[in-house]
């Protein structure tokens, strides 16, 4: 993450502004560590929440926070709170351990949490910041494609419980997000591909140009450093920003648009699959399966053409994501889907499409359609 100003191989950073009551910027570019100091400002204490496996990235990130110190500051304490990798970090036990860490440091309301990691880390670290002293500042430095295009933006934070995914959390917007594309170079291919699941999702719910790029680009070109990957990243972030600015707290959209729930496209089944697989399946992979499932459901409910259903299969497959699932009986998944956040009482609600870019909520689909759609993605009842 060392600074490389004016690097001719990389264009200037793109600054994407998120408006609203707590505005902030999402910066996309290369070698952005130098920008962290401005975001941290005059905080005396900084806690970096980071998976153990990525702590080697911390020195480059925090170096500019310590040298030079802001005018008038003669010391700054930087603490690293190392957390378990991936989904294992999103537990009540790890949350409590982070609170204890902040308590030991005497963390006050003017101090800042920095998250460095994938979406599991930004979800956990964001919730630590949301809950400590009822809310301290957080800056996200996402290190996976998925966290850059989705998890770090928009202020949804949380952890899992034994009943399911993200069932405890808060809306807590970051003070800034630094998407340093240089960090993606060490990301395993399977993790990059998982991030493309959320990118393709954004294509279906709001930006057909994303689909065109995916359909016309050879998948081998979707690598860190490629202009097309950068364009996909920026387009997906723009989709997310537009949605969260209009409906930060997921209270609903206007004119039939589902509002923020649109970003949950494919997630009702995806979260149930993740739980059934004890989080051994990547989130982005489960989202791909979940999107194909809900496309099949919409088709049966009479809203989506067979052609667009097949376009789902082709687009997710093209980037290397799964589009079938047969790991759990339908009733097991249905039981988990009943505690999805979009459900209301006994009524299941899904985000479906009438067409590309035209999402809406389907409430209370028939159990027959739910089962048929599961069979259509290779499942069993």
Ligand X SMILES: O=C(O)C(=O)C[C@@H](O)[C@H](O)[C@H](O)COP(=O)(O)O
174 binds, among ligand NAD, ligand X, none (CB under 5 to 8 A by kind): none
Sheet of 176-180, strand order: 14-18, 24-29, 176-180, 137-142, 112-117, 45-51, 77-83
For residues 139 and 286, what is the distance between their CA atoms, to the nearest angstrom?
27
**Active-site option among 35, 238, 261, 264:** 264
Which of the choices ligand X, ligand NAD, none does residue 290 contact, using the CB cut-off of 5 to 8 A by kind? none
What's phi and psi for 46, nearest 5 deg? Answer: -130, 130
**Catalytic residue check, 134:** yes
CB-based contact 201:266 (threshold 8 Å): yes
The answer to the question of residue 26 lying near ligand NAD (CB under 6 A) is no
Show contacts with ligand NAD in window 188-217 (CB under 6 A): 191, 194
Compute the least distance from the CB of residue 325 to ligand NAD, in Å.
Answer: 17
Q: Is 185 a catalytic residue?
A: no
Instruction: Residue 267: name its binding partner from ligand NAD, ligand X, none (Cβ under 5 to 8 Å by kind).
Output: ligand X
Burial classification of residue 296, based on how many CB atoms lie within 10 Å of its CB (0-12 exposed, 13-18 middle, 19 or more buried): buried
Task: Report residue 290 as tokens.
Answer: 């979940």
Partnered with residue 80 across adjacent β-strands are: 48
Q: Is 198 a catalytic residue?
A: yes
Residue 362 binds ligand X, judged by CB under 6 A: no
* One residue of 4, 15, 53, 306 binding ligand NAD per CB under 6 A: 53
Whether residue 250 lies in the annotated active site: yes
C-alpha–C-alpha distance, residues 194 and 371, integer Å: 26
Is residue 336 close enough to count as binding ligand X by CB under 6 A?
A: no
Closest-approach residue to ligand X (CB): 166
Q: Which of 238, 260, 275, 282 is catalytic?
A: 260
The answer to whether residue 156 is catalytic is yes
Give the nearest distance from C-beta 181 to ligand NAD in angstroms. 10
State in angstroms the smallest separation of the CB of 50 from ligand X. Answer: 20
Helix (H, G, I), strand (E, B) or coil at 152: coil
Q: Measuring CA to CA, how many Å separate 217 from each of 102, 111, 181, 212, 366? A: 46, 44, 19, 8, 38
Torsion angle defined by CA atoms of residues 263, 222, 85 and 168, in that order, rounded to the nearest 10 degrees: 0
Q: Check 250, 261, 285, 296 and give the catalytic one.
A: 250
Among 84, 127, 132, 144, binds ligand NAD (CB under 6 A): 144
Binding-site residues from annotation: 85-90, 119-123, 143-144, 156, 165, 198, 267, 283
Q: Which residues are known catalytic residues?
A: 134, 156, 198, 240, 250, 260, 264, 267, 271, 283
């Amino acid at each position: 993450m060392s600074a490389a100003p004016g690097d001719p191989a990389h264009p200037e950073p793109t600054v994407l502004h998120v408006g609203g009551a707590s505005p902030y910027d999402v910066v996309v570019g290369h070698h952005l560590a130098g920008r962290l100091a401005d975001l941290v400002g005059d905080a005396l204490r900084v806690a970096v929440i980071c998976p153990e496996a990525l702590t080697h990235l911390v020195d480059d990130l925090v170096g500019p926070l310590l040298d030079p110190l802001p005018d008038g500051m003669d010391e700054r304490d930087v603490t690293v709170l190392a957390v378990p990798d991936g989904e294992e970090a999103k537990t009540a036990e790890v949350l409590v351990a982070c609170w204890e860490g902040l308590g030991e440091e005497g963390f006050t309301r003017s101090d800042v949490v920095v998250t460095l990691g994938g979406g599991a880390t930004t979800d956990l670290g964001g919730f630590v910041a949301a809950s400590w002293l009822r809310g301290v500042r957080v800056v996200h430095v996402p290190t996976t494609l998925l966290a850059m295009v989705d998890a770090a933006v928009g202020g949804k934070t949380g952890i899992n419980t034994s009943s399911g995914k993200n069932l405890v959390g808060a809306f807590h917007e970051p003070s800034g997000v630094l998407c340093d594309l240089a960090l993606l170079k060490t990301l395993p291919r399977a993790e990059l591909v998982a991030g493309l699941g959320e990118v393709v999702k954004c294509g279906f719910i709001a930006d057909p140009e994303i689909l065109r790029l995916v359909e016309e680009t050879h998948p081998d070109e979707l690598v860190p450093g490629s202009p097309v990957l950068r364009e996909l990243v920026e387009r997906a972030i723009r989709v997310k920003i537009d949605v969260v600015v209009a409906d930060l707290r997921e209270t609903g959209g206007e004119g039939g648009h589902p509002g923020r729930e649109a970003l949950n496209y494919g997630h009702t089944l995806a979260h149930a699959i993740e739980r059934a697989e004890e989080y051994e399946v990547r989130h982005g992979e489960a989202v791909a399966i979940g999107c194909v499932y809900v496309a099949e459901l919409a088709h049966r409910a009479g809203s989506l053409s067979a052609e667009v259903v097949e376009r789902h299969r082709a687009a997710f497959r093209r980037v290397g994501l799964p589009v079938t699932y047969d790991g759990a009986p339908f009733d097991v998944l249905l039981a988990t889907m009943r505690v999805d956040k979009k459900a209301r009482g006994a009524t299941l609600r899904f985000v479906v499409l009438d067409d590309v870019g035209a999402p809406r909520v389907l409430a209370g689909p028939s159990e027959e359609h739910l089962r048929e759609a599961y069979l259509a993605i290779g499942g069993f009842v």
